[in-house]
Amino acid sequence: MLKDKKVAVVGNQTSVVLNKNGEFVHLVDTLLASQISVSKVFAPEHGFRGKADAGESITDGIDSKTGLPIISLYGNNKKPTPVQLQNIDVLVFDIQDVGARFYTYISTLHYVMEACAENNVDVVVLDRPNPNGNYIDGPILEPEFSSFVGMHPIPVVHGLSMGEYARMINGEGFLKNKMQAKLWVISMKNYNKEDTYQLPIKPSPNLPNAKSINLYPSLCFFEGTNVNAGRGTDLQFQVFGSPYLDAAIFPFEYTPQSTEGAKSPKHLGKLCYGEKLTDAKNLNRLELKWLIKAYQNTANKEKFFNNFFNKLAGNATLQEAIQAGKSAEEIRATWQEGLAKYRKQIEPYLLYSN
């Protein structure tokens, strides 16, 4: 499919191939060694090598190993331009996702597919397992809350591989003017969504291990509050805390520091009171109990939520329900009708059993 074609790659540090010696080799190096004409690389949030902070501006550059130009797909240039796609026949998309709506690589996939549809460039998605693919949960995003951390009317935990997600983008007419990209999904063999999948390379700087990836969909809501979710520690998305929580109720103490991937974490240098969740059982649903407990025991409830929370939730009702004192189960009950419709909606796009 790539032979004698002019190829571009959308990739990051997870875009690797296991060689015969049991070593990970970057996809770009693998293609070049196979005499495939790769002319440029597009890099998503966190950059080509995956070391930038969440939300940090990524600049264009040159890959020191191959000399290929690297074009950032984050910040002001989230979508490849016609000029950037000139003389490209095929764009290969290979990025490890973690199955949460607000993890921005699926938004990058949308913009890449849209640009390729507009410029007559084929899209090849190299599929990878979804480490949170064994369940579907959370509220469906409402269109007025669409943003780069949630572009489509899907639940927080969408249950799809990247290839399945690309098929849904095409099939549901999510692209501008309901265009469809010319899409090829290279599917996996022997993959079952119920299987536990340990990512061999961390997908972003603040998801260092399987525990953080499992807790991420539930703890990422804290990004829309005044609570730190472990950024600036070596327990990212495995602890939460703030200076405003009750130390008697939240006895775990830590102080966020400036680290690679979290140069200016929330509450930098301040003592935080919270919980350590490294011993929590593996989740198979979106868990709200920690968010509700933190809200109920914060020093100043009016300053708990920030403007980012509703974008993460995809609605205004989750914040309102928590403020009204609703229980986790009462809130979860309001999601079920939307989740049932979503499960039926995605059936045509599924490639794997579960």
pLDDT in tens, 61-81: 888 788 899 998 987 889 999
On whether both 180 and 274 belong to a single domain, the answer is no
What's the average model confidence in pLDDT over 30-48? 88
The residues, ordered by sequence, that sit 6+ positions from 232 with a Cβ below 8 Å of its Cβ are 256, 257, 258, 259, 262, 265, 266, 267, 268
Q: Which residues pair with 131 in a beta bridge?
A: none
Domain annotation covers residue 18: yes
Where residue 334 falls among pLDDT bands split at 50, 70, 90?
A: very high
Distance CA 173, CA 348 (A): 14
Per-residue pLDDT tens digits for 319-333: 999 999 999 999 999
pLDDT, mean over the chain: 94
Query: Encoding tokens for residue 160?
Result: 């799809």
Where residue 46 falls among pLDDT bands split at 50, 70, 90?
A: low
Find where tokens 């200016």 sit: 264
On whether both 190 and 217 belong to a single domain, the answer is no
Range of the domain at 227: 210-323
Distance CA 26, CA 91 (A): 16
Query: What is the radius of gyration, based on Cα positions, of the chain?
Result: 20
Q: What are residue 262's phi and psi, to 5 degrees?
A: -150, 70
Distance CA 10, CA 14 (A): 11
Find where tokens 């130009």 sit: 69
pLDDT of residue 64: 78
Find where tokens 């540090």 sit: 13
On whether both 176 and 255 belong to a single domain, the answer is no
pLDDT of residue 74: 82
On whether both 176 and 31 belong to a single domain, the answer is yes
On whether both 118 and 232 belong to a single domain, the answer is no
The residues, ordered by sequence, that sit 6+ positions from 114 with a Cβ below 8 Å of its Cβ are 79, 175, 176, 179, 181
Domain annotation covers residue 29: yes
Where residue 44 falls among pLDDT bands split at 50, 70, 90?
A: confident
- Percent of the chain scoring above 90 in pLDDT: 89
pTM recorded for the entire structure: 0.94
How many domains, the chain?
2
On whether both 311 and 174 belong to a single domain, the answer is no
Per-residue pLDDT tens digits for 122-173: 999 999 999 999 999 999 999 999 999 999 999 999 999 999 999 999 999 9
On whether both 193 and 225 belong to a single domain, the answer is no
Where residue 196 falls among pLDDT bands split at 50, 70, 90?
A: confident
Distance CA 100, CA 80 (A): 23
On whether both 64 and 183 belong to a single domain, the answer is yes
What's the average model confidence in pLDDT over 181-210? 94
Where residue 50 falls among pLDDT bands split at 50, 70, 90?
A: very low
pLDDT of residue 283: 95
Domain boundary among 164, 199, 234: 199
Sign of torsion, CA 214 52 18 39?
A: positive
pLDDT at 34 over 70: yes
Domain boundary among 199, 230, 248: 199
Contact 153, 140 (CB under 8 A): yes
